[in-house]
Structure 1
Amino acid sequence: MSPVVVGVDDSEASLRAVEWAAGEAERRRRPLRIVHAFIWPLLGAPLGPAPGAPPEGGLRHDAERILATALARARAVAPDVKVTTSLPESEPVTALLHDSRQAELVVVGSRGLGEVGGLLLGAVGARLGAEVACPVVVVRGLVRPGGPVVVGVADPDESQRLLPFAFAHAARTTNTLTLVHAAPDQSVDTDSAVLPGHVLDRWKERCPSVTVVQKTLTGHPGKALMRASSQASLLVVGSHHRHELSALIHGSVSQAVVHHASCPVAIIGLQE
């Protein structure tokens, strides 16, 4: 059974990601896999305690402690979820890319040692976002269990690929889905439908408990989505295709969404 995979380091932000991932694994009825990339052997660093230091010292013991702490946080949130831990001798992005091939979802925090939590904020994130084999959730901002799931709709055709993830998540959580489209023209009809009815009908039939709200906001897309995220439980956005994500990450849209969103952000690949 494909697990929910979460990357962890020694930051509180990554432990918040572990808690979110544990809850999501419980909702999906999936196992949870906690990964801490242990890069020090690749760098030739001594792994044991320094001469004269306590026997519980050293880099390997620190790594094992990080995993043990994450495991305890996961079990506190979802005691019935099967949880495994992994300490691959690898850099973080390589480890997560490897595990994403068999994963249901990859989860990271928004900050952390070695940018494990900031994987989607720089050049390393461009590689992860372009090559990851499943959706990625960046846990940042406040976790609002009762808030709507907000979907950023740029292109109606491409955005249909976001709907399976978004509807399923809404059905498991808040039963409220808000579709948001940003229009630069101040004269646009903000009450107009974001997606045509026939696009939504089949998803409404599959998830009848989900209430759908459509909003057109004026202004820059990144700022519009940032405003929309202020009361959301999850913001869902798409990445275009494999080598275009780098521009998205370093552009103003991502500055607003990934750097400044007020809730966790799910990034769904739109590539063929």
Structure 2
Amino acid sequence: MDLVVVGVDGSPSSLDAVQVAAAEAGARGVGLRLVHAFVWPSVHLPPGGPPWNPAMARVRESVDGTLIEAEERARRAVPQVSVVREVAVGEPLMVLEIESRTASLVVVGSRGLSAFGSLLLGSTAVHLAAHGRCPVLVVRGRPDPSGPVLLAVDGSPAGEGAVEFAFAEASLRGVDLVALHVWNARSERAHEGPGDPLNAVADIEGLRQDEQRLLDGIVTPWQERHPRLAVERRLMRSGVRPALIEASRDAQLVVVGARGRGGFTGLLLGSVSQALLHHAQCPVAVVRASERLGPQGGE
């Protein structure tokens, strides 16, 4: 079923994620699912003791209070949103990965608690972005509420899902889309000016035209599907990661594909995706190529 899932652990970061998730659910016209996951503490009862422990009651009170606060935050943001609470016993990453199999979007904060109930301790947000079965939106930074949706265009087949998601998201939000394609001739480090050693051995203008054609070829079909959406095509010769991080300062959301390879978690996301998750100035949506996207905002 189509719904937006948000991970809740009571931290300020997760409550910010609840507010964003409520807005996403409202724009899509779907329900919002608040998920709190934790590992049940081990309890060793003494012989002849009562079959309960005061610590368990305190855990339940803490969980209930966390979800009540999260629901109040969601309803303040979007009063008409339909909210469902879910408490799951298990590793938070595994619980949210399972939730992502039936969700149209999973939203999490960039930082969580370091004690009981932690959903986003350490690199959990990065792990979920790598393993999630639907787009994952990590709430971080200070987004510009009047800014555009920023799409990182890389031209790879793995990035097609990100393009589709970004166009739909900009349409849902009613904001402009900036399709940014950052290219360099050799490496992340760009050389500019007449002293550029590459200028002596390569046709820089020819390379630039090739990159422009790549950008146009990716954007044009989707722009035709969204004729009322204002789209800026931006081509930049620079280091990919620093250029996207800098551009995120003026955006309300960055959308990027996951290009990593291999079976280890750190390799399931490309270096650009990981850099944005750690350093972007606004929320980041990571979209894997095989993911089922949510409701589209086509016109």
TM over 0.5: yes
SS of corresponding position for 1:86 = strand
Q: 1:133 to 1:144 in 2, by over 3 A?
A: same
Q: Which has the larger radius of gyration?
A: 2
1:212 aligned residue (231, 235, 238): 231
- List per-residue Cα deviations over 1:220-241 (Å, max 9, x = no partner): 2111110010010100111125
Read off the aligned partner of 1:139 and give its amino acid letter.
V
Q: Which residue of 1 aligns with 2:20?
A: 20
Q: 1:234 to 1:126 in 2, by over 3 A?
A: closer
Q: Which residue of 1 aligns with 2:48?
A: none
CA contact (8 A) 2:153 2:179 kept: yes
SS of corresponding position for 2:232 = strand
Equivalent positions of 1:29-48 (< 5 A) are: 29-41=29-41, 43-44=42-43
Read off the aligned partner of 2:120 and give its amino acid letter.
G
Q: Which residue of 2 aligns with 1:76?
A: 76
SS of corresponding position for 2:15 = helix
- List per-residue Cα deviations over 1:22-55 (Å, max 9, x = no partner): 00000011100000003124x44898535xxxxx
Deviation at 1:147, TM superposition (A): 0.8
Once residues 277 and 284 of structure 2 are traced to their aligned partners in structure 1, the CA distance between those partners, rounded to angstroms, is: 7
SS of corresponding position for 1:4 = strand
Q: 1:186 to 1:176 in 2, by over 3 A?
A: farther
Equivalent positions of 1:179-218 (< 5 A) are: 179-184=179-184, 185-187=190-192, 193=212, 195-218=214-237
1:49 aligns with 2:68: no
SS of corresponding position for 2:37 = coil
Equivalent positions of 1:185-264 (< 5 A) are: 185-187=190-192, 193=212, 195-240=214-259, 243=262, 246-247=266-267, 251=271, 253-254=272-273, 256-264=275-283
Moved more, 180-189 or 130-139: 180-189
- List per-residue Cα deviations over 1:182-232 (Å, max 9, x = no partner): 223445567963744343333222211211112223332111110010010
For structure 1, which runs of at least 5 residues remain unmatched after alignment?
Answer: 51-55
Deviation at 1:154, TM superposition (A): 2.0
CA contact (8 A) 1:145 1:174 kept: no
CA contact (8 A) 1:48 1:58 kept: no
CA contact (8 A) 2:109 2:138 kept: yes
Read off the aligned partner of 1:258 and give its amino acid letter.
L
Read off the aligned partner of 2:73 and give its amino acid letter.
R
Once residues 260 and 238 of structure 1 are traced to their aligned partners in structure 2, the CA distance between those partners, rounded to angstroms, is: 16
Deviation at 1:270, TM superposition (A): 2.3
Once residues 144 and 24 of structure 1 are traced to their aligned partners in structure 2, the CA distance between those partners, rounded to angstroms, is: 16
For structure 2, which runs of at least 5 residues remain unmatched after alignment?
Answer: 46-51, 185-189, 193-203, 292-299
TM-score by length of 2: 0.78
1:117 aligns with 2:137: no
SS of corresponding position for 1:101 = coil
Once residues 130 and 183 of structure 1 are traced to their aligned partners in structure 2, the CA distance between those partners, rounded to angstroms, is: 24
Deviation at 1:260, TM superposition (A): 1.2
SS of corresponding position for 1:193 = helix
Q: Percent identity?
A: 39
CA contact (8 A) 1:88 1:95 kept: yes
State the aligned residue count: 262
* Bigger relative contact order, structure 1 or 2 (CA pairs below 8 A, ≥6 apart): 2
Equivalent positions of 1:57-96 (< 5 A) are: 58-96=58-96
Read off the aligned partner of 1:23 and give its amino acid letter.
A
Q: 1:255 to 1:96 in 2, by over 3 A?
A: closer
